[in-house]
Amino acid sequence: VLGRGVLVLLLSLPPLVALVCVVSLLWSAQDRGNWTVVLVILAGCAVAALALAPFLELPLGWLDRSYERGNRVHELWVRHHGTEVMLVRTPDALRFGQIYRAVQRAVEQHPGS
């Protein structure tokens, strides 16, 4: 599984490469005075970018979920009859928070049980 930093780097490379290509294209067109070709190429790139934009939803969704889950393992321990017992162990921070709050509500509703 890719780490968050690697995923962010991979997602940021295509826009950076596109920016370098556009700047070099404009620089070369300035020397040649051929702006029609540049405008056609830039229009084609814009259309391609708009057509490919929906496909970014999947990797951006992975990145979003990776931030929700976190990068640590969360454990919930309780003391039952003098023995420590692990109730849950998960790397998913969002899920752990939900479970923790549910256990906390149950303890508040039934104190001393």
Which of the 8 DSSP states describes residue 34? -
The C-alpha atoms of residue 99 and residue 86 are separated, in whole angstroms, by: 13
Our count of domains for the chain comes to 2
Q: Is 81 in the same domain as 63?
A: no
Report the DSSP beta bridge partners of residue 86: 77
Does the global pTM surpass 0.75? Answer: no
Sequence letter at residue 106: A
Q: Is 59 in the same domain as 78?
A: no
- Residue-range definition of the domain harbouring residue 78: 74-109
The C-alpha atoms of residue 80 and residue 61 are separated, in whole angstroms, by: 40
- Contact yes or no for 68/93 (Cβ under 8 A): yes
Q: pLDDT value at position 113?
A: 62
What string of pLDDT tens digits covers the 113 residues of the chain? 456 666 666 667 777 777 777 777 777 776 666 677 777 777 887 788 778 777 777 777 777 776 666 678 889 998 889 999 999 998 888 888 999 999 999 988 987 76
Q: Is 20 in the same domain as 34?
A: yes
